[in-house]
Chains A and B, each alone.
Chain A
Amino acid sequence: MPIDFNFMVGGEAGQGVQSVGFLLAKVFARGGYHIFADQDYESRVRGGHNFFRVRVSDGKVDAIAEDVDILIALNMDSIELHQPNMVTQGIIIFDGEKVKGVSGNNGSLLSIPLEKLAEEKAGGKLMINTVALGAALSAVNYDLNMLNTVLVDRFGKGEVGNRNIAAAKAGYDYVQSEHKGNFRKIKPLSEAQRMLLTGNEAISLGAIAAGCKFMAAYPMTPASSIMEYMAAKSKDLDLVMVHAEDEIAAINMAIGAAYAGVRAMTATSGSGLCLMVEGIGLAGITETPIVIIDGQRPGPAVGLPTRTEQGDLQFVLHAHHGDFPRAVLAPATIEDAFWVTINAFNWAEKYQLPVIILTDHHLASSYATVDPLDLSQITIDRGTLFSEKEDDPLEYMRHRVTKSGISPRAFPGLGKALVVTDCDEHDEEGHLTEDAGERTAQVQKRLRKLFPLEKEIGTPQKYGPKKAETTLIGWGSTYGAIHEAVDILRKEDASVNMLHLNELWPFPAKAVADAVSKARNSYVIENNATGQLARLIKAETGYDVSGRILKYDGRPFTPAYIAQAVRKEGR
Chain B
Amino acid sequence: MVTMSDYAGLKPAWCPGCGNFGILEALNRALIEMEIEPHQVLLVSGIGQAGKLPHYTRGNVFNSLHGRPVPPAIGAKIANSELIVIAVSGDGDAYGEGGNHFLHAARRNHDITYLVHNNQVYGLTKGQASPTSDVGFITKTTPYGAASPVNPIALAIVSGASFVGRGFAGDIDHLSHLIKKGITHRGFALIDILQPCVSFNHKNTFQWYRERVYNLEDERYDPSDKNAALEKALIWGERIPIGIIYEENLPVYEDQLPALSEEPLVKQKIDPRRVEKLLAEFM
Contact = CB atoms under 8 A, between A and B. Distances in A.
A69 interface: no
B273 interface: yes
Interface stretch (A73-81, A235-243, A444-452, A468-476): A235-243
A239 B259 contact: yes
A432 B71 contact: no
Given A214-B78, A252-B65, A416-B39, A237 B60 contact: no
A414 B61 contact: no
A223 to B, nearest CB: 18
Interface in A287-308: none
Interface stretch (B99-107, B194-202, B228-236): B99-107
A255 interface: yes
A155 to B, nearest CB: 15
Interface string B260-280: 101001111011111111110
Contact of B258 (A235, A393, A415): A235
B62 interface: yes
Which residue, B72, B77, B83, B270, has most C-beta atoms of chain A within 10 A? B72
Query: Main SS of chain B's interface residues?
Result: helix
Contacts of B80: 260-262, 411-414
A245 B83 contact: no
B76 interface: yes
Given A252-B71, A419-B60, A245 B76 contact: no
Contacts of A256: 44, 62, 64, 71-77, 79
Interface residues of B, number: 57
Contacts of A89: none
B119 to A, nearest CB: 20
B63 A423 contact: yes
A430 B79 contact: no
A203 B23 CA distance: 46
Contact of A197 (B70, B75, B272, B282): B282
A420 B54 CA distance: 9
A189 interface: no
Given A196-B282, A262-B79, A412-B83, A418 B104 contact: no
B39 A260 contact: no
Interface in B10-26: 10
A249 B101 contact: yes
B121 interface: no
A418 B58 contact: yes
Nearest to A244: B71
Contacts of A248: 68, 71, 100-101
B64 A380 contact: no
Contact of B259 (A201, A240, A264): A240
Nearest to B78: A240
A250 B68 CA distance: 11
Nearest to A378: B272
A417 interface: yes
B275 A255 contact: no
B142 interface: no
A414 B266 contact: yes
Interface string B81-111: 0110000000000000000110110000000
Contact of A257 (B55, B61, B75): B75
Given A214-B265, A256-B74, A375 B272 contact: yes
Q: Which of A415, A422, A424 has the most CB of B within 10 A?
A: A422
A210 B76 CA distance: 19
A286 interface: yes
Contacts of A237: 259, 274-275, 278
B145 interface: no
Interface residues of A, number: 72
Q: Which residue, B39, B60, B78, B271, has most C-beta atoms of chain A within 10 A?
A: B60
Contacts of B58: 418
A44 interface: no
Contacts of A486: none
Nearest to B267: A414
B79 A214 contact: yes
Contact of A233 (B74, B76, B266, B278): B278
Contacts of A239: 259, 265
B76 A412 contact: yes
B226 interface: no
Given A252-B72, A431-B55, A422 B101 contact: no
Contacts of B71: 216, 244, 248-250, 252-253, 256
B38 interface: yes
A246 interface: yes
A420 B61 contact: yes
B78 A242 contact: yes
A233 B277 CA distance: 11
List of 3 A-B pairs having minimum Cβ-Cβ separation, nearest first: A256-B75, A256-B72, A211-B270
Interface of B: 10, 38-40, 42, 44, 47, 52, 54-55, 58-65, 68, 70-80, 82-83, 100-101, 103-104, 257-260, 262, 265-268, 270-279, 282-283
Given A253-B72, A378-B272, 19 more contacts: A195-B279, A196-B282, A205-B279, A208-B275, A209-B274, A214-B75, A242-B78, A249-B71, A256-B44, A256-B79, A259-B75, A260-B80, A342-B272, A382-B270, A393-B39, A411-B266, A414-B80, A418-B60, A422-B61
27 contacts: A210-B272, A211-B272, A213-B79, A214-B78, A214-B79, A216-B75, A234-B259, A236-B277, A238-B262, A239-B259, A245-B100, A249-B70, A253-B75, A255-B72, A255-B75, A256-B79, A264-B75, A279-B65, A393-B39, A412-B60, A413-B60, A414-B267, A416-B39, A418-B39, A418-B58, A420-B54, A431-B10
